[in-house]
Structure 1
Amino acid sequence: MAQEREEIKGVKLATNCPILTHVVYADDLILLGHAEDGEVQQLCDIMEEFGAVSGLAINPTKSKLWFLEPCEEQLVWTIQNKLRADEARDEERYLGAILSKSNTAKKTGMMLLDKIKSKLTGWRSNMLSHAGRLVLIKSVLMSVPVYYMSVEMIPKGIIRQMESQIAKFFWGKTDKDRYMSFISWKRICQPVDRGGLGVRKLSTFGEALLLKLVWDMASEEDKIWVQVCRSKYYSILGFWRAVNVGGTSNIWKQEVKLRHTFKENVMWQVAKGDKIPALSQPWFPEWRVAQQASRNDRKITVSDLFDFDTNQWNLQEMRRLLGDETARQIDSLIQKLRSIPSMTDRLVWSHTKSGSYTVKDGYDYLIQNREIQGQEVQWKYIWKWKNVSPKIKVFMWRLLSDGLPLAQNLHNRIQSISPMCVRCNQENEYATHCFFFCQGSRMVWFAGSLGISTDSLPLNVCEALHMITQQMNEENIRIFCLTLWEIWLARNDLVFQHRRFDPIAICKKVQAMGHAIEGARGENLELHQLVERVPYELSVDEWQVLVDASWDTSQRAGSACVIYHEGVLVRILMQRHEAPDSFYAETLALQEAIQWVEEFFQAREGQKVKLFSDCLNLTTAIHEGDLTSIPSWRAAPLIARMLEQIENWGGKVSLQHVRREAVNPAHVLANEARRKNVTYNGIATAAIMCENRIGMALDRRFFQQVEEAPP
């Protein structure tokens, strides 16, 4: 109210910038104004009135005055007396962040480095295993800089110092300036499924944090800082074409640098097109080509290219602006979404299911596109092994990464160290020799409960481990890993304690540690478990279609529709797909069912069909017609089209959410379609079900022989 009465002027950082009078978070408050006697008096009156109403008071000892420009000494003294606060020194803090008139990036970086060093000082790395240190690094040390790096680009030199301190802690060398590590920090920071330990690369994580600011500006979030940046930096040219000029903040300079990376990975999801400049923002796959080819008519929006009278694209205008080929590519893009009132144009990050940018998704994208090349190993299986302790898993990772201090590895670094095996003194101590081919290790494997003969194993340790473990169950894998661990401990006792390497003692230790723990065995559903009758949860008074999908992380998907009439199985649909996520796969499965229904109604008018799916998000989106909160933004056009079809059928088709057990027949068939690349659309006749019910339906030779039957 004081601002509206112009009793307080506040601060404007640019011509069209919103007036800033205060910034508040919880009980921390910043008041902004002019160093004028009248305005200062108004602030005093407001604070006194606030105290009288709320019963709270300003603490003068915790309050500071900050003068951005030099003021007369008499004025400074007067303001201090009225506000009862001292003048701030150059480096004050607000919510932990440094406030300074000079560049704060280096100061913030040094503060973070000191924080990390202080935490490491109290930890004894030699009392922890590598797995224990890894937990502390991920849960404690990596969280220290997150808050500060979200608003500040820390200098790379300081980031390298922080990572150096963390690396020394991981290798247990915090008291040494120089040490030997056999696995690079860059490798350690790779995702676990690419041979790393999933530790954050701080420089890359800083970029992911700053990309969140880019996302807020590009998607025009309704935040006060976005309004300030827009007014100050890109009110005329717009965010996508704004440039760095003299006097801009360091954060804005970094945002402009990151804009190219951001631009390569976002796209507009077109609904109405009235908010999207057609030639300056990404809204179709070949947008970059068109944007470079034409620089005219920059105020034209996507909706200007659409003819509302004919409900078609204005192809003539599109050809003029974008070219013939591009015009053909996007001919049907907007029609799929126009009939959904709840949809609006929105910017989407193409690497997430929801379409919204998150720091985690941004970091995953950045780190995977900067991965280092290495040997092909199924790393993810190591971390999925059950009943294997984290300490042993990290040891297995070091072994597969050739990161153990074996004699040959030490010799490669320091020529004066002998590469010979300390046990047999006959061959160089490579990983395979140490753990499999040395005479002592051979005796351990042969005498152990697994009874493994190592004579025919390959020389590559990764290939050797894969050959041994690929046929093992979880319990045997656990015993196998424990055996490797005990061999390593016994080898080290020989080297450092001069204790005899005793294979029998090692076998006894493994047996004592590996008491029979039955590994959890997943129930393997066979196709002959499918029944001819509809599951008991469903009614039998109409046509029923069970719908389900199967998806894996390699983006392979399978869909299946199992169709019943009056409780009798009559038809099966199976299809192999490529899908970016599980929700999109479920949408494709429902689309298959809708297509069958469309063909079905051409032959049988007046009948009703009920669809059953176990995907709650999908059934909710269909029932409510709301596509703004679906998990996969890519599925929106497909769902919009299905909504139109269901509405046109006038209540003859319904969709119901059920438990997984109710659609189990479709679930099993979808798995088979994905794993075996099966495509089938046919009648489930008695001939098909005569052996193992419908088990014959998965024989590929059968699929090649069966002619596709009409619905």
Structure 2
Amino acid sequence: MLFILVMENLNALISYADREHLLQPIASHQAKHRISAYADDVVMFLRPTTQDITTVTGVLEIFGHATGLRTNISKSSVTPIQCGGDDLAAISELLPCEIKNFPCTYLGLPLSIRKLANADFLPLIDKVADKLPGWKASLLSRAGRLVLVKAVLSSIPVYLMLALDLPKWVLKAIDKIRSFLWKGQDNANGGNCLVSWNVVQRPLQYGGLGILNLELMAWALRIRWLWLQKTDPLKPWAGLPVQVHHNAKALFDVAVVSVVGNGETIKFWTDRWLQGKNVAEHCPTLFKLIPKWAVKQRTVIQGVTDRKWVTDIRGALSVQVLVEYLQLWNLIEGVELRPEVTDQHLWRFASHGAYSSKSAYEAFFVGSITFAPWRRVWKAWAPLRCKFFIWLVFKKRLWTADRLAKRVLPHPAACPLCDQSDETIQHLLISCVFAREVWAVILSKLGLASIAPQPGCTGFNCWWRQGVKRVGKDMRKGLNSLIILVAWQIWKHRNSCVFEGTRPCVQSVVLAVVEEGSAWCLAGASALHDLLLRQLPSGRSP
């Protein structure tokens, strides 16, 4: 705050010099501000003339005397944007400082007066790639790689996405780096990816892993500029052209509902101020007769005053247009302006009515199919690697014999645990005789033998859902953790039998459940502690 108060004085001095014509106008009509200040970085825009340079150095000297913040010209730099040789000579004579090349980078953003070239985006891709842990990546579990992708690799581009419309090839290049999730390498191909990347990028409740979809996140971030233009038009950058994708603009138009106060900031023809809808939704045929300038500029107070909205209608009036005209007339007659009250703009995807990038991002998934067991999987207390495993179970993407056979890969001829049936993930976890015995032993010790899987169980998800419904609410969190734990130990025992030649043993699995469950409880699984350790003896099989 102190920095803002001090630097506002410098901005006021530069603005005064501009108003008094001590500075020549900047060529671009879009450049409305001559100064940009952030932390200890200050950028000034001026013409390469003796008068402008002398004026600016004088302003900096006055500012230094008043605040004590003196400018060391020799440590500053000049970046010519469109200057000739004579201009550069004058600059070098008046400003004894370094002259840098343009285009350049400022606050991490590439600056250019032309469309950014592919080479301008390579530093971003390299920065993401540099965060890969190299040879250590292969030592990370999938859960560890998931944390790295979500917390680091997905967050690096956010800053640039807020300001720039990143090309699709850049997003694909970053996604290729993030796909190291599956193999621990930055060049994972389709065979290494167990689940489609489009599915992986969905939120947890829609069947994904919660990894950001960079394209949708970029759209959600830049909706911020539309929101601030609508709710805070006095922002210094208001009126500047902001790159916003048409899909983001469409979401913004749907998401914002306006409540009429004085009508000064609500667009008459496009904003949703008539019973939560805009004019185009109430009167689509009539709306087609409105000229573009009126659609963009007409506010509610302008349209309602003396019914000027009527004068915006152009062209022949058909019967349908007349019907819609009367309908719109009746709607507007019920609107009462309140001069002392400012207009309100509400974001319908948030309970507090204010925009957030999170709510905008989630809005892009509205209407998607919900992943029914997502709460049982992701809200339960369990290590992330175990939740990842259960997620793969529901996606049927574990390398069991049936999937290996489809790809003509070596696989067990029968279930490694019972040697009676073909191995599928559903068979392995609840249909297998071995697995059912494990469930029966553990659940009977807890007094829950009635929910143990029976030979007629149709599927792991169905059995889990019905089992949770049959216990008290106070036991459900603990039961969810227990089911994840037991399924994880059955899978580990299966792998031990396949790759290490271990003989199937029910007691070994039960003992592993008890020991691993004790570790989970010590780590914070309180609900599992209440359900498991108070019943099962610690450190030995029942």
TM-score band (shorter)?
0.7 to 0.9
- CA distance in 1 between counterparts of 2:323 and 2:70 reads 63
Contact in 2 for aligned 1:278/1:302 (Cα 8 Å): yes
* Percent sequence identity over aligned pairs: 22
| Counterpart AA for 2:457 | P
Q: Matched residues in 2 for 1:461 and 1:292: separation?
A: 54
What is the letter of the counterpart of residue 271 of structure 1?
G
Contact 1:105 1:152 in 2 (8 A): no
Assess if the C-alpha contact under 8 Å between 2:429 and 2:460 holds in 1: no
How many Å separate the matches in 1 of 2:456 and 2:233?
Answer: 59
Q: TM-score, normalised by structure 1?
A: 0.61
1:478 aligned partner, one-letter code = S
Letter of the aligned partner of 1:500 in structure 2? R
Task: Letter of the 2:203 partner, please give it.
Answer: P
Q: What pairs with 1:114-133 in structure 2 (closer than 5 Å)? A: 114-122=126-134, 124-133=136-145
Partner of 2:252, secondary structure, is helix
The alignment status of 1:348 with 2:361, answered yes or no, reads no
Partner of 1:279: 269
Are the aligned partners of 1:493 and 1:499 in contact in 2 as well (CA < 8 Å)? Answer: yes
Q: Give secondary structure in 2 for the equivalent of 1:98.
A: strand
Distance 1:170 1:47, change over 3 A: farther
Q: Does 1:43 align with 2:45?
A: no
Matched residue SS, 1:459: coil
- Tell me if the contact between 2:182 and 2:193 (Cα under 8 Å) persists in the aligned partners: no
Q: Is the 8 A contact 1:120 1:169 kept in 2?
A: no
Matching residue of 2:22 = 7
Shift of 1:460: 2.9
Q: Aligned runs of 1:135-534 on 2, under 5 Å?
A: 135-174=147-186, 176=188, 179-219=191-231, 221-229=233-241, 251-252=242-243, 254-255=244-245, 258-284=248-274, 285=277, 287-289=279-281, 290=283, 292-294=285-287, 295-296=289-290, 298=294, 301-303=299-301, 322-327=324-329, 332=334, 334=335, 343-369=341-367, 371=368, 373=369, 377-385=372-380, 387-412=381-406, 414-418=407-411, 420-423=413-416, 424-450=418-444, 451=449, 453-472=452-471, 473=475, 474-515=477-518, 519=527
Q: Which amino acid aligns with 2:33?
A: L
- State the match for 1:683 in structure 2: none
Q: Which has the higher strand share?
A: 1
Q: Do the aligned partners of residues 111 and 457 (structure 1) sit closer, same or farther apart at CA in structure 2, a change above 3 Å counting? A: farther
d(CA) in 1 for partners of 2:453 and 2:323?
69
Give 1:445 deviation, angstroms: 1.9
Q: Tell me if structure 2 keeps the 8 A contact 1:189–1:201.
A: yes
* Counterpart amino acid of residue 11 in structure 1: I
Q: Which amino acid aligns with 1:64?
A: S
Q: CA deviation at 1:71?
A: 0.7
CA distance in structure 2 between the aligned counterparts of 1:75 and 1:344, rounded to whole angstroms: 49
C-alpha distance in 2 between matches for 1:349 and 1:511: 49
Aligned 8 A contact 1:189 1:196 in 2: yes
Take 2:405 and 2:230, find their aligned partners in 1: how far apart are those partners? 54
Deviation string for 1:497-526 (max 9, x for gaps)? Answer: 33333221110111123248763999xxxx
8 Å CA contact 1:282–1:288 kept in 2: the answer is: no
Q: State the Cα distance separating 1:55 from its structure 2 match.
A: 4.2
Is the CA contact (8 Å cut-off) linking 1:388 and 1:478 kept in structure 2?
A: yes
Q: Residues 64 and 87 of structure 1 are in contact (CA less than 8 Å); yes or no, is this contact kept in structure 2?
A: yes
Residue 552 of structure 1 corresponds to which residue in structure 2?
none
1:67 shift after superposition: 2.0
Moved more, 259-268 or 23-32: 259-268
Does the CA-based 8 Å contact 2:481-2:528 persist in structure 1?
no
Q: CA–CA distance in 1 between the matches of 2:194 and 2:413?
A: 18
Helix, strand or coil: the match of 2:36?
Answer: strand
2:182·2:194 contact (CA, 8 Å) conserved in 1?
no
Aligned to 1:240: none
Question: 2:248, 2:452 → 1: CA distance?
Answer: 55
- Compute the TM-score of the two structures, normalised by the length of structure 2: 0.78
1:282 Cα deviation from its structure 2 partner: 3.1
Q: Secondary structure at the match of 2:228?
A: helix
1:512 to 1:280, Cα distance in 2 relative to 1, 3 A: closer
1:116–1:13 distance in 2 versus 1, CA, 3 Å: same
- Answering whether residue 39 of structure 2 is matched by residue 20 of structure 1, we say no
Match of 1:543 in 2: none
How far apart, in 2, do the equivalents of 1:487 and 1:425 lie?
15
Larger helix share, 1 or 2: 2
Aligned to 1:103: 115
d(CA) in 2 for partners of 1:300, 1:155: 34
| Cα distance, 1:61–1:381 mapped onto 2, change above 3 Å | farther
Instruction: Mark the runs of 5 or more structure 2 residues left unpaired by the alignment.
Output: 1-15, 314-320, 531-542
1:79 has 2:77 as partner: no
1:267 to 1:108, Cα distance in 2 relative to 1, 3 A:
farther
The one-letter code sitting in structure 1 at the alignment partner of 2:229 is M
In 2: Cα distance, 1:202 partner to 1:453 partner:
43
Tell me how far apart the structure 1 counterparts of residues 200 and 94 of structure 2 sit (CA, whole Å): 57
Residue of structure 2 equivalent to 1:566: none
Unaligned stretches of 5+ in structure 1? 230-250, 309-313, 523-711
> CA separation in 2, counterparts of 1:11 and 1:257?
34
Q: 1:70 to 1:365 in 2, by over 3 A?
A: same
Q: What is the CA-CA distance between 1:110 and the residue it aligns to? A: 2.1
4+ residue segments displaced more than 6 Å: 304-308
Q: Is the 8 A contact 2:81 2:102 kept in 1?
A: no
Please provide the CA RMSD for this pair: 3.4
2:77 touches 2:100 (CA, 8 Å); kept in 1?
Answer: yes
The residue type paired with residue 430 of structure 2 is: F
**CA distance in 2: counterparts of 1:495 and 1:425, whole angstroms:** 12
Number of aligned pairs?
480
| 1:268/1:197 CA distance change after superposition, 3 Å | same
> Which deviates more from structure 2 when the two are superposed, residues 476-485 or residues 294-303?
294-303
Structure 2 distance, partners of 1:467, 1:60, is 74
Aligned equivalents of 1:403 and 1:61: distance in 2?
Answer: 62
Question: Shift of the alpha carbon at 1:487?
Answer: 0.8
Cα distance in 2 for partners of 1:438, 1:521 equals: 28
1:155 deviates by: 1.0
- Change beyond 3 A, Cα 1:109–1:417: farther
Is the Cα–Cα contact under 8 Å of residues 406 and 429 in structure 1 kept in the other structure? yes
Contact between 1:10 and 1:21, CA under 8 Å: does it hold in 2?
A: no
Does the 8 Å contact 1:106/1:154 carry over to 2? no
Following superposition, the deviation at residue 48 of structure 1 comes to 3.5
1:93, distance to aligned residue in structure 2 (A): 1.5
**Partner Cα separation in structure 2 for residue 89 and residue 18 of structure 1:** 20
